[in-house]
């Protein structure tokens, strides 16, 4: 059996983690192995790179440097976790993937899209998600949600980038969805979590039926 690769994307505080948890719960009885993972992260090496990216001074990395670091983390994640899981036939639920690099570093950060295309080609290659759920939310609401979080992790370097960055980021994700409508589906993150979960389930059922 071949695996199924689903990525979740969106701005800060859009509700990805809640939705991944709800979907993983719903898939529990499917008889398939479920792998929940995240980017940057998912292997010890990629988690080490994550800590460099998500904390510290807002200006510590340029957008191209961030694209390179995220791609190095992604390469480790793909080779160490995602591809082996897909080869075992697992359903992989990934909290962010290549579209975050395009939206954060490309659209919002101004990194040359040619570099992002080349990195995607070299690192991701054919291992593109079968389905990408883009959870769309007004960034003012999303950022307000993240401020209410008391996880004490201080992984807030991107949250401190300012509202204009987050508005452009949202447009970036919507542009990605418009460019690849078969792979990417936009989910309204402003609705109740259970309603968003139902919309997500509709999309997941469609790709599960397709096999």
Q: CA 209 to CA 203: how far, in whole Å?
A: 10
- The one among 70, 76, 81, 132 contacting ligand TMP by CB under 6 A: 70
- Out of 19, 81, 100, 132, name the contact with ligand TMP by CB under 6 A: 100
Q: How far is the CB of 40 from ligand TMP (least distance, A)?
A: 5
Q: What's the rounded Cα separation, in Å, for the pair 74 and 141?
A: 29
The nearer residue to ligand TMP, 33 or 47, going by C-beta atoms, is: 47
Instruction: Find the helix packing angle between 63-77 and 44-54, rounded to 10°.
Output: 160
Give the interface segment with ligand TMP, choosing from 35-43, 76-84, 137-145, 177-185 (CB under 6 A).
Answer: 35-43
- Is residue 5 a contact residue for ligand TMP (CB under 6 A)? no
Closer by beta carbon to ligand TMP, 138 or else 155:
155
Tell me whether residue 43 or residue 70 sits nearer to ligand TMP (CB atom): 70
Region from 95-103, 110-118, 126-134, 181-189 binding ligand TMP, contact rule CB under 6 A: 95-103
Alpha helix positions (H), 78-192 = 83-87, 98-100, 113-119, 139-147, 163-179
Residues 138-177, mask of contacts with ligand TMP (x by CB under 6 A): -----------------x--x-------------------
Confirm if 81 and 93 have CB atoms less than 8 A apart: no
Q: Quick check: 110 and 21 in contact, CB under 8 A?
A: no
Please give the structure tokens belonging to residue 169. 């980021």
Select the residue interacting with ligand TMP from 101, 165, 186, 204 (CB under 6 A): 101
> CB-based burial of residue 24 (10 Å sphere; 0-12 exposed, 13-18 middle, 19+ buried)?
middle
Cα 203 to Cα 19: distance, rounded to the nearest angstrom: 13
Q: Which residues bind ligand TMP (CB under 6 A)?
A: 12, 38-40, 53-54, 66, 70, 95-96, 100-101, 104-105, 155, 158
């Amino acid at each position: 059996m071949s695996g199924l690769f689903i990525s979740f994307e969106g701005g800060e505080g859009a509700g990805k983690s809640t939705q991944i948890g709800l979907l993983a719960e719903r898939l529990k009885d499917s008889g398939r192995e479920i792998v929940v993972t995240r980017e940057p992260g998912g292997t010890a090496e990629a988690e080490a790179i994550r800590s460099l990216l998500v904390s510290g001074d807002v200006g510590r990395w340029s957008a191209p440097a961030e694209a390179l670091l995220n791609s190095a983390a992604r390469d480790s994640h793909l080779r160490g976790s995602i591809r082996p899981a897909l080869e075992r036939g697992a359903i992989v639920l990934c909290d962010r993937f290549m579209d975050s690099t395009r939206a954060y570093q490309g659209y919002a950060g101004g990194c040359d899209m040619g570099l992002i295309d080349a990195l995607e080609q070299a690192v991701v290659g054919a291992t593109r998600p079968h389905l990408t759920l883009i959870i769309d939310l007004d960034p003012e609401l999303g950022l307000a949600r993240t401020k209410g979080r008391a996880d004490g992790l201080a992984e807030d370097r991107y949250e401190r980038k300012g509202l204009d960055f987050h508005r452009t980021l949202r447009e970036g994700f919507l542009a990605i969805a418009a460019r690849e409508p078969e792979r990417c589906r936009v989910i309204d993150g402003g609705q109740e979590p259970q309603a968003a979960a139902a919309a997500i389930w509709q999309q997941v059922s469609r790709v599960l039926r397709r096999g």
